[in-house]
A and B are shown apart, each in its own frame.
Chain A
């Protein structure tokens, strides 16, 4: 079954404590992206990757890092999380244009 898997699904943590949200896809897609979803703002892209070792900033990259060492994985790293990064995060992968999304990771930064 085609899947984009995010972990953890929920996390409550404190300001400044580094965290990583993992994303893995089993469809051999080249494109992968991270989005955050906030009430009234919709889905906004954080970072994307067009292939292994190729990443680029989206619309709201500040405070985030990503890596793409292998095709299937695209982790999102928050080196020093802050409360304004409390949000619902989605990872997506795609072969052409329409993305397959994971089920989301809800982060709460206290």
Chain B
């Protein structure tokens, strides 16, 4: 069954505000997590990843937080822009380094809507 899920199917934010997209996972053995962005008519695009030996990782305008105690993952997008409008998926690899895209389990996605 689905082991990775999103708390909200749709998130609406004002342009310029920060966005926080949440994800819960159930497999405590998972040691690698990824956030993807999917724009309309396109395939998922890698945003940022994090391993289970970290609790925070930052990229350009994005931060991923991992709370292993409650099995929770979040994606923070700073100063949200119109181009951030997309569906965001979290994914986990419960098999650790044995994976590749073959080992990923995806959440159902959150649609981020940017209000002008």
Task: Assess the A31–B102 pair: CB atoms within 8 A.
Answer: yes
Contacts of B42 in A (CB 8 A): 103-104
Task: Assess the B43–A97 pair: CB atoms within 8 A.
Answer: no
A-side binding surface: helix, strand, loop or mixed?
Answer: strand
Contact A101/B43 with A42-B2, A42-B107, A43-B106 known, Cβ cut-off 8 Å: yes
- List which A26-79 residues lie within 8 A (CB) of chain B: 30-33, 35, 40-45, 48-50, 56, 58
Q: Which of A42, A97, A101, A102 contacts B99 (CB 8 A)?
A: A97
Contact with A along B37-56 (1 / 0, CB 8 A): 00001111110010000000
Task: Assess the A104–B49 pair: CB atoms within 8 A.
Answer: no
Determine the residue in chain B with the shortest Cβ distance to A39. B108
Q: How many A residues, CB 8 Å from partner? A: 31
Contacts of B100 in A (CB 8 A): 30-31, 33, 48, 50, 94-97, 99
Determine the residue in chain B with the shortest Cβ distance to A43. B106
Minimum distance in angstroms from A103 CB to a CB of chain B: 5
Contacts of A94 in B (CB 8 A): 100-101
Minimum distance in angstroms from B40 CB to a CB of chain A: 11
Task: Assess the A42–B102 pair: CB atoms within 8 A.
Answer: no
- Is residue A4 within 8 Å, beta carbon to beta carbon, of the partner chain? yes
Contact A31/B89 with A41-B108, A97-B49 known, Cβ cut-off 8 Å: no
List A residues at the B interface (Cβ < 8 Å): 4, 30-33, 35, 40-45, 48-50, 56, 58, 90, 92-104
The 3 lowest CB-CB distance pairs between A and B, nearest first, are A31-B100, A99-B101, A101-B43
7 further A-B pairs in the complex, CB-CB below 8 A; given A48-B102, A97-B93, A98-B101: A42-B109, A97-B49, A99-B46, A99-B100, A99-B101, A101-B45, A104-B42
